Structure 1
Amino acid sequence: MAFIRPYKPSDFEGMSHICRETLNPALRPSVAGRRLAPYCWTHQYTHLSPTTCFVLDDGSGRPVGYCIGCPDIPAFVAAYDSYTKEVLDVSPEITRPEDLELKEPLFYEDGSINEVFLSRLAYNPQLLLIDGNADLLAEYKATMHIDLLDEFQGKGWGKQLINSFVESIRNVPQKDGSVSKGIWIGVAGDNGKVLPFYEKQGFKLKGRPVEGKTFFLVREF
């Protein structure tokens, strides 16, 4: 029987599989996108904030879903070197880009993925979480990701995973002494079908910049 438990290091490959199988449709056809996605949106949270990462176990030890994140994004970014050195730099699946600061489109005009920029997102938490999000970060310091394999969706597990995550971060103090109002998440503009799910979990739409084509949602503690 499936159950929710804390993340453990032996879940690493299972987490990669979940991330790849639940990718945004725009990224799924890309070999590079599937290879790099877990390093952009999954493994840094389990490495740097494992106590706030939760797994849906199918009952045999296999992860089939997760809710992962961190309670303090600025502190998370400050600790990011550990992730680059201990996970990214030693992985055969990802190569360190030469210019980590360069901003480029994620997709080329022909629709193919910009693999170098995707690698840059994995290596540069400023691009991933900070740039353009100052207004959100002023109030909402926590962020999260949730993914479930298809056969475990629509059964209430998403709600339980999010509740586990929220309880794990609710009273975590911010290192700069500030108080976080709650969580913010970003949803790709072409993945708007998931918005009703988040709204049912207490998230509210905060904004959608035209240029970024991203929905931003927040949930207060």
Structure 2
Amino acid sequence: MAFIRHYKETDFDACAQICVATLPPSLASSPEAARLSPYLWTHPYTYLSPSTCHVLDDGAGSAVGYCIGCPDVHAFAEAYPRYVTGVLEDNGGRGIAARPAQLETREPWFLPLPATGDDREGQEKQDKSINPAALAQLAYRTDWLLLEGDAAKTALMRRWRATMHIDLLEPWQGRGWGRRLIEAFVRSVRESGADYGEGEHIGVAGENRKVVAFYERMGFRVVSDDGGDEGTIVLVKDIERP
């Protein structure tokens, strides 16, 4: 019988597979972007904050979903160098190892694809693909990944300091496990002793806005939405003190 438990080191590969299997189309369409994605949105949390990371075990020991995160993104960012040396630069292990050539100037998020033969009139609009170099930079620059933004976003992250990611393999979706995983994460944040402020914030890719209704049922509320597929929808959830 399936059940929820804390993340274990042996779940590393399964959680990476869950992340890749549930990526939005823009990331999933690029093999290199898909390979890098767990190193941005999965492994940092399970490595640095395992006590607030939970998985759905299928009953046979395999993780088929997770809700992972940290109680305070600011403390998390301070601890991030441990993840860089312990995972990203672990050349003898399973990390991505290679440090980008430069980490001062941000690479563009999208790269234009070559124009097709149908583009005979030189139309300016082209299809775009995620730039893997930009993802590699984010893996090493947690300030860009988690903390950078306008004044409104900075103020928001000071109020709702926790953050999380939740993903379930398709056969396990729509069965109530998402709610239970979030409840487990919230309990662990309350018990962490960390300063989580008023609660947690999450970002949802604009192209994946269909999941917003689920989060709203879980008690989240939208605080920012630029309305585009290439932007991010920001939601917050209040977490009461124990």
Given candidates 118, 124, 131, the residue that maps to 2:141 is 124
Change (3 A) 1:140 1:197: same
**Corresponding residue for 1:192?**
209
- For the residues of structure 2 that align with 1:56 and 1:171, how far apart are their CA atoms? 20
- Deviation, structure 1 residue 135: 2.0
**Corresponding residue for 1:33?**
33
- Deviation, structure 1 residue 94: 4.9
- For the residues of structure 2 that align with 1:33 and 1:92, how far apart are their CA atoms? 15
Q: Residues 12-31 of structure 1: matches in 2 within 5 Å?
A: 12-31=12-31
- For the residues of structure 2 that align with 1:162 and 1:112, how far apart are their CA atoms? 32
Q: Amino acid of the residue matched to residue 139 of structure 2?
A: A
Secondary structure at the aligned position of 2:106 is classed as: coil
Does residue 99 of structure 1 match 2:119?
no
**Corresponding residue for 2:120?**
none
Secondary structure at the aligned position of 2:212 is classed as: helix
**Corresponding residue for 1:54?**
54
Q: Amino acid of the residue matched to residue 170 of structure 1?
A: R
**Corresponding residue for 1:218?**
236
Q: Amino acid of the residue matched to residue 184 of structure 1?
A: H
Rg larger in structure: 2
Secondary structure at the aligned position of 1:84 is classed as: helix
Q: Residues 55-204 of structure 1: matches in 2 within 5 Å?
A: 55-90=55-90, 91=94, 93-110=96-113, 111-132=128-149, 133-174=153-194, 180-204=197-221
Q: CA RMSD in A?
A: 1.6
- For the residues of structure 1 that align with 2:95 and 2:201, how far apart are their CA atoms? 32
Identity %: 49
- Deviation, structure 1 residue 113: 2.2
- Deviation, structure 1 residue 141: 0.6
- Deviation, structure 1 residue 108: 0.9
- For the residues of structure 2 that align with 1:206 and 1:171, how far apart are their CA atoms? 26
- For the residues of structure 1 that align with 2:227 and 2:97, how far apart are their CA atoms? 31
The count of corresponding residues between Structure 1 and Structure 2 is 218
Say whether the 8 Å CA contact 2:111–2:131 is kept in structure 1.
yes
Say whether the 8 Å CA contact 1:207–1:216 is kept in structure 2.
yes
Moved over 6 A (4+): none
Secondary structure at the aligned position of 1:195 is classed as: helix
- Deviation, structure 1 residue 213: 1.2
- For the residues of structure 2 that align with 1:192 and 1:183, how far apart are their CA atoms? 19
Change (3 A) 1:144 1:60: same
Q: Which runs of 5+ in 2 are unaligned?
A: 114-127
- Deviation, structure 1 residue 41: 0.3
- Deviation, structure 1 residue 53: 0.2
Say whether the 8 Å CA contact 1:36–1:94 is kept in structure 2.
no
Superimposed CA distance per residue, residues 94-153 of structure 1 (whole angstroms, 9 cap, x where no aligned partner): 521122232233211221221111011111110110000302112011000000000000
* Structure-2-length-normalised TM-score: 0.86
Q: Which runs of 5+ in 1 are unaligned?
A: none
- For the residues of structure 2 that align with 1:49 and 1:116, how far apart are their CA atoms? 26
- For the residues of structure 2 that align with 1:71 and 1:179, how far apart are their CA atoms? 5
